[in-house]
């Protein structure tokens, strides 16, 4: 349930500067400029739209992303900064490159700075210099994984960050990161507003887990799924290669199992998928161990995919937090490997469990072709929004459209796999997996 105000986008002021967008003449001719009145519906259900109409209400919608005819900033005087935060993810360099090229060539902005090692780069005591970014500096970075600017985790003083933005006279700050970065970005916006500064903050949501709220797809996810299928294929080969072979793959997904589910659908050699959103038991007649024993007795091999955040209940409590305040997860992959090995041995089943964890290899890869294209759209739309004076927002993707999403509507919330939704139900059909707590006997697939 959303109120209309939830999708309203803040601005620094009225956009009065005629656009310097180099495709302006072509855009005027082809009518490709976007107005704030161009909207994308939050809900596309005809029933819900008609219900709004009958109630005399306007359906909730997002502002559409794209170039505006009038902009807020004078490109000749504008100074922009980019920062990448949190864990690595395929596509970070693609985002940096596309932002720089769009600012430089499309709008004529010449003062573009990269902030080194996340928000720590704003704090003088760390001693990180800003990096001047121009087309020649970013020309080839999209072929490399990671981020050319470096990243970091941990809380930094918001006041010191805004002090630096003020000293540097930064007009637009592009923050590229996950939920923690979005939360910090909202606090930066609060401090900017309190001081009366004219600095726009535009977020580009980065999470390999694809769990950003109100964003149907995030960059790096396609690459992660693509590479995760290779790990699943290897696990299946290993499982087939030995009597009663078990292939176990742990994939990314702290709170949401989108990678595990999507990769398992893409490479349909998986028999059990364990994700944080769906509880499961180890013991009992329908628990994982008994179901695995039945699978091995019936088919002679099995493949299990587990998201890193699944099954944390088996560890009896958290193991502290990392520098960003995230709960440190127990290693469910190694735990399952040991438990499965012990159980099968107790059942007189001589089985070898082959365990694969490709997480860091996937995170550090360059983006694949689909993510290359997606990153370009995200970055260029972020530039259009910033130049128009939009702020406290992120670039989202909704119903196959790029849109402006208020940070406050997304930050601190999380998108999850719906156990009753189409994605999970499709997974159950593909694997034959049923409820691993109280389901009936599993109908196994080949």
The reply to whether 304 falls in a domain is yes
Nearest to 74 by CA among 132, 113, 35, 16: 16
| pTM summary value | 0.92
pLDDT value for 446 = 45
Catalytic annotation, residues: 209
Give the range among 28-32, 329-333, 379-383, 389-393 with minimum mean pLDDT.
28-32
Judgement on whether residues 53 and 182 belong to the same structural domain of the protein? yes
Judgement on whether residues 211 and 138 belong to the same structural domain of the protein? yes
Judgement on whether residues 70 and 172 belong to the same structural domain of the protein? yes
The reply to whether 231 falls in a domain is yes
pLDDT tens figures, 248-283: 999 999 999 999 999 999 999 999 999 999 999 999
Phi, psi at 418, each rounded to 5°: -85, 115
**Structurally, how many domains does the chain consist of?**
2
Judgement on whether residues 171 and 143 belong to the same structural domain of the protein? yes
The reply to whether 437 falls in a domain is no
Q: What is the mean pLDDT of residues 56-75?
A: 93
Neighbours of 219 (CB within 10 A): 31
The reply to whether 335 falls in a domain is yes
Phi, psi at 255, each rounded to 5°: -120, -15
* All residues at 6 or more sequence positions from 83 whose CB lies less than 8 Å from its CB, including other chains: 114, 115, 118, 119, 121, 122, 149, 173, 174, 175, 176, 177
The reply to whether 440 falls in a domain is no
pLDDT value for 250 = 98
The answer to whether 203 and 175 are in contact (CB under 8 A) is yes
pLDDT value for 442 = 45
Tell me what the pLDDT averaged over the chain comes to.
92
Provide the domain limits for residue 237: 221-364+419-431
pLDDT tens figures, 221-242: 999 999 999 999 999 999 999 9
The answer to whether 356 and 263 are in contact (CB under 8 A) is no
Nearest to 373 by CA among 125, 129, 98: 98
Judgement on whether residues 47 and 161 belong to the same structural domain of the protein? yes
Judgement on whether residues 163 and 175 belong to the same structural domain of the protein? yes
The answer to whether 116 and 131 are in contact (CB under 8 A) is yes
Judgement on whether residues 16 and 163 belong to the same structural domain of the protein? yes
CATH of the domain at 329: 3.40.50.460
Rounded CA-CA distance 339/283 in Å is: 10
Task: Tell me how far the alpha carbon of residue 275 is from its chain's centroid.
Answer: 17
Judgement on whether residues 156 and 233 belong to the same structural domain of the protein? no
pLDDT tens figures, 311-333: 999 998 766 766 666 778 999 99
Judgement on whether residues 160 and 226 belong to the same structural domain of the protein? no
User: DSSP letters of 247-261?
Assistant: EEEEE--SS--HHHH
Judgement on whether residues 324 and 379 belong to the same structural domain of the protein? no
CATH of the domain at 26: 3.40.50.450
């Amino acid at each position: 349930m959303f109120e209309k105000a939830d999708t309203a986008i803040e601005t620094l002021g009225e956009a009065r500067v005629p656009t310097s967008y180099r495709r302006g003449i072509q855009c005027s001719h082809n009518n490709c400029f976007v107005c704030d009145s161009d909207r994308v519906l939050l809900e596309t259900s005809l029933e819900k739209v008609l219900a709004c109409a009958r109630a005399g209400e306007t359906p909730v919608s997002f502002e559409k992303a794209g170039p505006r005819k009038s902009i807020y900033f004078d490109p000749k005087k504008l100074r922009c900064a980019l920062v990448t935060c949190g864990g690595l993810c395929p596509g970070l360099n693609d985002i940096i490159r596309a932002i720089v090229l769009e600012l430089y060539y499309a709008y004529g902005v010449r003062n573009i700075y990269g902030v080194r090692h996340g928000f720590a780069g704003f704090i003088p005591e760390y001693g990180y210099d800003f990096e001047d970014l121009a087309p020649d500096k970013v020309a080839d970075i999209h072929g490399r994984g990671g981020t050319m600017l470096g990243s970091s985790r941990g809380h930094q003083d918001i006041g010191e960050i805004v002090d630096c933005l003020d000293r540097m006279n930064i007009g637009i700050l592009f923050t590229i990161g996950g939920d923690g970065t979005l939360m910090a970005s909202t606090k930066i916006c609060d401090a900017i507003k309190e001081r009366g500064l004219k600095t726009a903050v535009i977020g580009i949501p980065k999470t390999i887990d694809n769990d950003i709220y109100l964003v149907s797809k995030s960059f790096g996810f396609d690459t992660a799924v693509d590479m995760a299928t290779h790990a699943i294929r290897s696990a299946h080969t290993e499982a087939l290669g030995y009597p009663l072979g078990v292939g176990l793959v742990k994939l990314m997904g702290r709170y949401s199992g989108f990678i595990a589910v999507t990769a398992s659908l893409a490479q349909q050699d998986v028999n059990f998928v364990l994700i944080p959103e769906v509880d499961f038991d180890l013991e009992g007649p329908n628990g994982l161990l008994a179901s695995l024993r039945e699978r091995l007795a019936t088919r002679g091999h099995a493949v299990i995919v587990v998201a890193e955040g699944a099954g944390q209940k088996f560890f009896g409590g958290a193991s502290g937090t990392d520098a960003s305040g995230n709960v440190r997860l127990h290693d469910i992959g190694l735990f399952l490997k040991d438990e499965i090995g012990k159980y099968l041995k107790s059942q007189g089943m001589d089985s070898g469990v082959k365990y694969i964890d490709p997480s860091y290899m996937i995170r550090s890869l360059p983006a694949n072709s689909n993510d290359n294209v997606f990153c370009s759209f995200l970055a260029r739309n972020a530039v259009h929004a910033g130049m128009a004076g939009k702020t406290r927002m992120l670039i989202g993707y909704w119903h196959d459209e790029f849109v402006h999403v208020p940070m406050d509507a997304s930050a601190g919330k999380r998108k999850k796999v719906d156990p009753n939704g189409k994605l999970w139900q499709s997974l159950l059909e593909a694997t034959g997996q049923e409820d691993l707590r109280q389901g009936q006997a599993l109908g196994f697939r080949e």
